Amino acid sequence: MTASATPCFATEGLTKRFPRVTALDDLTVAGGTGVTGLVGANGAGKSTLIKILLGLLSPNSGSASVLGLDTATQGFEIRRAVGYMPEHDCLPPDMSATEFVVHMAQMSGLPRTAARERAADTLRHVGLDEERYRPMGSYSTGMRQRVKLAQALVHDPKLVFLDEPTNGLDPQGRDEMLALIRRIGTEFGINVLVTSHLLGELERVCDHVIVIDGGRLLRSSAIREFTRAEQTIAVEVEEGQQRLAERLTAGGETVAAQGRLLTVQVAADDPGRTYDAVRDAVCDLGLSLLRLEQRRGRIEDVFKEPVA
């Protein structure tokens, strides 16, 4: 499944040069509904692309559209319909999250009463409770990221641009943020374009991933394409990893050891056979099973191709 019939955003031969660097180089890409990941190293052109899509920066050549609107001429309409969470810090420390999000809702054109309601709702959805009445100067990074996300969602946009939302978060905060992004794309029904320089974290939440490097498109594919390609299960046992591997291999399974984990390739023709084999092997050998989980093929592996 690639981009749907009406792409959320699309670019055509987009090129943006700054005096000292070419940020985007003839980039043609489209993103459909759901959660789209935009991956690239720092300086790959992700933020530049978002600014062009917001209609804040004009490209040297090429064109771009968002929700069917032309970024060159309809930037104003685009900015009414989208939300934007910048990569950098953007919160005045002496305001409370509530005041700030209400204000930003008004800046998007919501009347004051509606702005208050929406701000309370949105802050609750991103998981900010009593602390939302405190000045934001005292917030942790995780809380600040949540407020930044709330101000991007408060006016109920059709599409949000999230620029590096997991930046600076600890592993747990990262997981929570990613789960939240997944919810925005599914439960909230808001299309998401999320950037990250970490490919691994996007595979968990995205429907579609676009990889750019040096302003050029490296690859654009739906997540399902690679998950179908390689289904594996990971098994971790307390002791006897070696014996388990031998037993499974003898039974005709493809097994590989990754540190303390055994990864077993799921038989494409008969998936149930592999699961049964693992269960029986663990039982018969009397091993203590620590972990048994489904693994999708890592996008990282798929993209590990020579970079042009």
Alpha helices per DSSP H over the chain: 46-53, 75-81, 97-107, 112-125, 141-153, 171-185, 199-202, 223-229, 241-250, 271-285, 299-303
Handedness of CA 136, 140, 142, 145 (dihedral sign): positive
What's the closest the beta carbon of residue 179 comes to another protein, in angstroms? 14
What is the per-residue binding string for another protein in 191-220, x denoting contact by CB under 8 A?
A: ------------------------------
What DSSP state is assigned to residue 96? B
Identity of residue 273: R
Q: Is 104 exposed, middle or buried (0-12, 13-18, 19+ CB in 10 A)?
A: buried
Q: Which two tokens stand for residue 216?
A: 């050029």
Only one of the segments 112-120, 208-216, 233-241, 271-279 lies at the binding site for another protein (rule: CB under 8 A); that segment is: 112-120
Distant-in-sequence, close-in-space partners of 178: CB < 8 Å, separation ≥ 6: 166, 201, 204, 205
What's the closest the beta carbon of residue 97 comes to another protein, in angstroms? 14
Q: Count other C-beta atoms under 10 Å from residue 114's C-beta.
A: 14
What's the closest the beta carbon of residue 17 comes to another protein, in angstroms? 14
Residue selected from 104, 162, 235, 244 as contacting another protein according to rule CB under 8 A = 104
Tell me how far apart the alpha carbons of residues 104 and 236 are, in angstroms, rounded to a whole number. 49
Q: Which of residues 4-43 bind another protein (CB under 8 A)?
A: none
> Could you say whether residue 110 binds another protein (CB under 8 A)?
yes
Residue selected from 62, 114, 167, 225 as contacting another protein according to rule CB under 8 A = 114
114 or 292: CB nearest another protein: 114
Q: Rounded to the nearest 5°, which phi and psi values hold at 159?
A: -145, 135
> Could you say whether residue 130 binds another protein (CB under 8 A)?
no
Strand 69-70 relative to strand 61-66, pairing: antiparallel
118 or 146: CB nearest another protein: 118
> Could you say whether residue 252 binds another protein (CB under 8 A)?
no
> Could you say whether residue 168 binds another protein (CB under 8 A)?
no
Q: Is 70 exposed, middle or buried (0-12, 13-18, 19+ CB in 10 A)?
A: middle
Residue selected from 54, 120, 234, 292 as contacting another protein according to rule CB under 8 A = 54
Residue selected from 1, 21, 41, 56 as contacting another protein according to rule CB under 8 A = 56
Residue selected from 10, 38, 52, 57 as contacting another protein according to rule CB under 8 A = 57
- Contact residues toward another protein (CB under 8 A) are 54, 56-57, 76, 79-80, 82-84, 86, 88-94, 99, 103-104, 106-112, 114, 118, 121, 125, 151, 155-156, 183, 187-189
